[in-house]
Structure 1
Amino acid sequence: MNFLLKAATVIDSKSPFHRQTVDILIENGVITDIKKTIKASDHVEEVILDNLHISQGWFDSSVSFGEPGYEERETIDHGLQVAAKSGFTAIALHPNTLPVTDNSTAIGFLKGKSQNSAVSLYPIGALTIQCKGVDMAELYDMQQAGAIAFGDYKKAIQNPNLLKIALLYAQNFNGLVLSFPQENNIAGKGMVNEEEQSTLLGLKGIPALAEELQIARDLFLLEYTGGTLHIPTISTAKSVALIRDAKAKGLQISCSTTVHHLTLTDKELVTFDTNYKVLPPLRTQKDVDALVKGINDGTIDMVTSDHQPIDVEHKKVEFDHSKYGTTGLESAFGTLNTILDIEQTIAMLTNGKSIFKIESESIEIGNKADLSLFNPTGDITFTEEHVISSSKNSAFIGKSTKGAPYGIIANGKMILK
């Protein structure tokens, strides 16, 4: 279809139209004209939205659905609709399915299920067979089938030699290795941040040391092997400092943090609401401040929703027995926009493309239309009605957000809320 965006303000520092309000004509998935005013013709659909802003399409580097195996949490088709209505044109999907995405056939299944979607799905292959941390999976075969990176979701690689071999092997085909930052022997049976709050609530704690020790180990391995390493969802002040120092050394290291680690602390746990049970656990205000500083100085490369739908049977139970995870696609933009300015927000939602080697095109005539549509203004209280996901385990219900996504134009399709 063909679309004409009316009075759209462009937020794209790489575009000559950055910060300008223009009309944009999109024909057969390509931007064919950008002017102050374009007259609509019969063969285009006019798009007129209040305070419309557009940017390059957003990418979320840490998303889980459920299918195959856990369709009650989220199917691929519905999950991609959630992503689109939340403003994301591309997502990286974790291998925590049943069976685990640890071979080329499983990668092909995911690519096939998503091939007609407006949202581009990029599978992350498991680093080890069945995510058990014992034997390395067939990384090259998965890359050939469409995997963009390799990691065991929320499972640390405890054997340092296994990570060393993976970093060495992946260099042969420029593969990106992910390593979840937790030393399990230090974390033990903890489930929340080990601090004053865990003591007051009588909940077993995971010390910040568990994350920091694992990151320090991984950085030593990276310095020895070379290669490219991504550390997802860091959460502590010391983690930021370790990665800042590693970048100063010239190591090929990148990292992300989550929207909830940037905006929530372990003080939320006072209600024992299991929606706040996430991994890594919510930390302290000192850690939140350090994460924001890490974004401002370039240490943290991207922000993710770490979207993890969990069905009600596994979430609305005693805190000890509930599964980790919160949904986050729907609330990501509005929440991030409350603590960063709009250009920073867009940068944090798009920077990951270069690290995961995903094509990115600026908003210019002749380029493919891969666009996120949004309104950056307006105070909104996020409620359960805003949760589009099949699972409703959002940590942001009742929180204040700023602005909201309208949807996307990508792969020749438009999806709006």
Structure 2
Amino acid sequence: MNALIKSATIVDSKSDFHNETVDILIEKGRISKIAKRISNPNNYKEINLENLHVSQGWFDSSVSFGEPGYEERETISNGLKTAALSGFTAVALNANSNPVIDCNTDITFVKSKAENHATRLYPIGALTQSSNGKDLAELFDMQNAGAIAFYDYQKPISNPNLLKIALQYAVSFGGLVCSFPQEQKIAGLGVVNEEVNSTKLGLKGNPALAEELQVARDLFLLEYTEGKLHIPTISTSKSVELVREAKAKKLDVTCSVALHNIFFTDDFLSDFDTNFKVLPPLRTKKDCEALIEGLKDGTIDMVTSDHNPLDIEHKKVEFDYAKYGTIGLESAFGALQTIFTTKKAISLLTNGKERFHIPERPIVEGEKADLTLFNPSTNYTFKKENILSKSKNSAFIGQNLKGKVYGIIANSKILINL
């Protein structure tokens, strides 16, 4: 794959050309030359786009595609195309499928379905068999097959001894254990954040305490086992404090936040729009501000779209009966840029690679091309027509966003939406 990118501003602190506008020559999938001006004697495909910016390829640490089993929601093929046109050169696939991805053959299957795509797929294996929270899955075998972490998607591990054993066992082969932050007995049947709005709307509340108790418990177990833990999608101010304290103790812990939990508050629930029914639930303005501050100071390591496609039958129902989840790949960059600078947004979209052992590809000569192409200045209103996923359950429809993604150059392929 050969191409010549013209007049692109590089956004990559690990590149000698950071903040410079240059041409980038790509030959056989590698960056062969970066200079102010490069001629094109071999008549390679030229990429010349308005206000073009280029960064290292973005990574999303939590996406669901449905396949196998829920292909009506999304397929791996279309999911990876959606990710590519949303700027992501790598995604971590949750074991949110039927059957659940909980053994080495399952890992091999989803990897085979992802071959020959521009975006690379990195599977996350279930932590327990069938994600039932009772018996550990084949962690070591799955890691050998290509799993990058172990997580029962949005299902808390209620048995603390099971999580303790998982952390201890994973230490022996460098595995990364993920634990969903919710104490189910406290959360009960709650469907939204327990606060003033839940009372006004007459919806059962899921208190912040349910998350914070679980985070505190998991951090105690982490300290005891000296293991390696990732806490996905925290949502409360107290959770940020708990993780900050754990990092001060030098515990091996990272965490993420779902983009919708920093973009929306529970005030958006007033119309009972089930696209805002997410887990963890949308919290208060105070929580949002604490989460944003946690991202700024590094307490929270990464953002995720927590992309979760759901067909209309699971969303166009009464709020209590709707499934949790929103898609978010297509709106991720535009939403992030309404909160952070372009430089910070790019940093948050690439931060998770090291934790999940995804190769980092700085924009330097000789490196494999793993690039995201975008225009950070475009302002637009996100509409249903902007959705590339099979399912259309986006909480961001109607929101004013900033930044257009052109596509990616990665895995020796070019995928750009003009």
TM-score by length of structure 1 reads 0.99
Deviation, 1:115, is 1.5
* 1:302-345 C-alpha deviation (Å, 9 max, x unpaired): 00000000000111111111100000000000000110011110
* 1:161-192 C-alpha deviation (Å, 9 max, x unpaired): 00000000001110000000000000000000
Contact 1:314–1:322, Cα closer than 8 Å, also in 2? yes
Aligned length: 417
- For 1:286 and 1:321, the matched residues in 2 are separated by 28
Partner of 1:377: 377
Partner of 1:320: 320
Code of the residue aligned with 2:196 in structure 1: it is E
Deviation, 1:42, is 3.2
Deviation, 1:43, is 4.1
- For 2:343 and 2:95, the matched residues in 1 are separated by 31
* 1:131-157 C-alpha deviation (Å, 9 max, x unpaired): 000000000000000000001000000
- For 1:114 and 1:386, the matched residues in 2 are separated by 23
SS in 2 for 1:199: helix
Give the 5 Å matches for 1:9-28: 9-28=9-28
Code of the residue aligned with 2:324 in structure 1: it is Y
Contact 1:88–1:119, Cα closer than 8 Å, also in 2? yes
- For 1:186 and 1:44, the matched residues in 2 are separated by 60
Partner of 2:394: 394
Identity %: 64
- For 1:42 and 1:362, the matched residues in 2 are separated by 25
Partner of 1:413: 413
Code of the residue aligned with 1:163 in structure 2: it is L
Partner of 1:179: 179
* 1:323-372 C-alpha deviation (Å, 9 max, x unpaired): 00000000000000110011110010000000101110210000010001
Deviation, 1:209, is 0.3
Partner of 1:252: 252
Partner of 1:72: 72
SS in 1 for 2:289: helix
- For 1:230 and 1:414, the matched residues in 2 are separated by 32
Partner of 1:338: 338
* 1:76-106 C-alpha deviation (Å, 9 max, x unpaired): 0000000000000000000011111000000
- For 1:177 and 1:43, the matched residues in 2 are separated by 48
Code of the residue aligned with 1:341 in structure 2: it is T
Give the 5 Å matches for 1:280-291: 280-291=280-291
Partner of 1:292: 292
SS in 2 for 1:134: coil
CA RMSD of aligned residues (A): 0.5
- For 2:277 and 2:33, the matched residues in 1 are separated by 48
Give the 5 Å matches for 1:80-229: 80-229=80-229
Unpaired segments ≥5 residues, structure 2: none
Give the 5 Å matches for 1:292-311: 292-311=292-311
Contact 1:15–1:362, Cα closer than 8 Å, also in 2? yes
Code of the residue aligned with 2:171 in structure 1: it is Q
- For 2:331 and 2:171, the matched residues in 1 are separated by 36
Deviation, 1:40, is 1.4
Deviation, 1:219, is 0.2
Contact 1:2–1:43, Cα closer than 8 Å, also in 2? no
Partner of 2:233: 233
Code of the residue aligned with 1:166 in structure 2: it is A
- For 1:252 and 1:314, the matched residues in 2 are separated by 37
TM-score by length of structure 2 reads 0.99
Code of the residue aligned with 2:58 in structure 1: it is W
Deviation, 1:206, is 0.2
- For 1:374 and 1:76, the matched residues in 2 are separated by 24
Code of the residue aligned with 2:336 in structure 1: it is L
Partner of 2:360: 360
- For 1:104 and 1:313, the matched residues in 2 are separated by 32
